[in-house]
Amino acid sequence: MRNSLKVAKWEYKRNMKNKSFIISLFLTPVLFLVFFNLPLLFDNDQAEEEGSQIYVYDELTVWSSLKSQLPEETTENWHEIDTYMTEDEIMQKLNEAENTAYIMLTDQVLENGSVKVYISDDLDENFVYQTNILEQPLLAQRLADLGLTQEEAQISASGIGFETVTPESIDKAQSEGSNSANMLERIVPVLFAGVILFSILITGMMIFQSASQEKKEKVAEIVLSSLTPEELMKGKIYGYFGLGITQVAAWVVIILPFLVWRVDVPFLEYLFVPELLLLLFIAIAGYLLFASIFVSIGATVEDMNSSSNFQGMMFMLPFLPAIFFGPIMSDPSGIVAQIGTFFPITTPGVLLIRLALLETWPWVEIIIAIVVLIVSIWVFMKLAGKIFKTGILLYGKDATPKEIWKWIRQ
């Protein structure tokens, strides 16, 4: 263990002194922030609509009575004008203005049953739907004019809607109020564990490179004169775990303040819950599983560029849960989700997705999955030790799957 920690410390220090690692450490979260904000920058429609100004001539006093019932942020870009404008006058104004609309609510509107919405050229035609809020009050006004009382007119104008009802939807309706908050409360810690798993997996992939480099630069034999192959292998796994955690720390330091500021969700409150411990355990177990695969396969490859499809395929393993993503989303407790949970390679990923989706956690399945994961880590570490021991000293060639199989059986 002491020797492994020495190797871990060396691997950690070596990478932390490496300029390209330091750049990637900060670049990944910064890139995330850029891509997170990019859609907002390009969301012109919304920006346009937010900035649009609507002028209403309200001869019918429909708008003024409606305005009092609407929230302030909906009505702040609506302005009442006192004088009636002809179509020519409006057109003249619109030619000079941007993001502007004019609505003339006169008796004629009630007679014709149509409202003309004059918009400047730069506004989208769909903008007209924003003015739909006027439809119901205008209809009520029209009915009142026909002799109905104010109340009768309101009822008639509101129309009749249809909705389907199932036992499930009744349950849903009952818990509707707190549902979206609950969802976020579940997702935030899972998302955090997911980020940790992702980060340490990415640095975990660097183990492959590190083991391969050890072979290529022929340092392995010198190092192995001071410690055992198992200690060297474990040291690498611990070292790159440390680097992964450092990457997570960079994410937290750069992104969390941004999220707390930009997104209106109490992240920290949702994050530090007891369930987080289990989720972190799953993430770390996932790392150990894949790290053992990467380090052993890295020890069989001298030149990464010449590595065969077999070795390349190993990099795809952590992304295997993506196959299950669709079926799990549609049924988080279905048979596909369960298979994914108990198949060691996909256990960490699938379990995290399911725990984010399920309201009540299936504890029996979780316990079985964790047992499967722990046993698999033990088996994979043993196999990795065997492959690493022979592979790391095999200079000058990449090992074939047949050779690797032989080392495992030794």
Partner 1 sequence: MEKVLTVENLGKSFKDTRIIRDISFGVNKGEIMAVLGPNGAGKTTTIRSIMGIMYPDEGDIQFHHYQSKGIPRHKIGYLPEERGLYKNVKVMDILLYFAELKDYPLKKAKLRALEYLKKFGLEGKNQVSIEELSKGMGQKVQFIASIIHEPELLILDEPFSGLDPVSQEVFKEEIKELAQKGTAVLLSSHQMNLVEQLCDRLFLIHRGQKVIYGTMEEVKKEYANFKCTIQGNNDIQKLERISKVQRVEQKENKSILYLMQDVHIPSWLKQLPDDIDIQEFTVDRVSLHEIFVDIATGKDEIGEEGELHA
Residues in contact with partner 1 by CB under 8 A are 3, 6-7, 10, 13-14, 17-18, 213, 217-219, 221-228, 393, 395
Instruction: Show Cβ contacts of residue 291 under 8 Å, excluding neighbours closer than 6 positions.
Output: 204, 207, 237, 240, 241
CA R_g for the chain? 32
Cross-strand pairs, 56 = 80, 103
78 phi/psi in degrees, rounded to 5? -100, 135
Tell me the closest approach of the beta carbon of residue 219 to partner 1, in angstroms. 6
Tell me the closest approach of the beta carbon of residue 314 to partner 1, in angstroms. 24
Other beta carbons within 10 angstroms of residue 70's beta carbon come to 12
- Nearer CB in complex with partner 1: 378/405: 405
Tell me the closest approach of the beta carbon of residue 397 to partner 1, in angstroms. 13
Q: How far is it, in rounded angstroms, from Cα 10 to Cα 210?
A: 12
Give one word for 70, left, alpha or beta, with left for phi > 0 and alpha for psi -120 to 50. Answer: beta
Tell me the closest approach of the beta carbon of residue 386 to partner 1, in angstroms. 13
Tell me the closest approach of the beta carbon of residue 30 to partner 1, in angstroms. 24
Tell me the closest approach of the beta carbon of residue 393 to partner 1, in angstroms. 7
Tell me the closest approach of the beta carbon of residue 265 to partner 1, in angstroms. 42
Tell me the closest approach of the beta carbon of residue 275 to partner 1, in angstroms. 40
- Nearer CB in complex with partner 1: 7/66: 7
Tokens linked to 212: 């391969």
Would strands 117-119 and 100-105 be described as parallel, antiparallel, or unpaired?
antiparallel
- Nearer CB in complex with partner 1: 12/251: 12
Query: What is the torsion angle, in degrees rounded to the nearest 10, for the CA atoms of residue 331, residue 332, residue 337 and residue 342?
Result: -160
- Nearer CB in complex with partner 1: 327/385: 385
- Nearer CB in complex with partner 1: 228/400: 228
Q: How far is it, in rounded angstroms, from Cα 78 to Cα 101?
A: 9
Q: How far is it, in rounded angstroms, from Cα 201 to Cα 207?
A: 10
353 contacts 290 by C-beta, under 8 angstroms: no
Tell me the closest approach of the beta carbon of residue 17 to partner 1, in angstroms. 8
- Nearer CB in complex with partner 1: 33/224: 224
- Nearer CB in complex with partner 1: 128/219: 219
Q: Which letter, b or e, does each residue of 34-59 get, where b requires 16 or more Cβ atoms within 10 Å of its Cβ?
A: eeeeeeeeeeeeeeebeebebbbbbe
- Nearer CB in complex with partner 1: 166/225: 225
- Nearer CB in complex with partner 1: 184/227: 227
- Nearer CB in complex with partner 1: 7/103: 7
Q: Where are the alpha helices (DSSP H) in 97-166?
A: 107-112, 135-145, 150-158
Tell me the closest approach of the beta carbon of residue 214 to partner 1, in angstroms. 8
327 contacts 158 by C-beta, under 8 angstroms: no
**How many residues are given for the chain?**
410
Tell me the CA distances in angstroms from 242 to 1, 217, 238, 383, one per residue in order: 15, 24, 6, 23
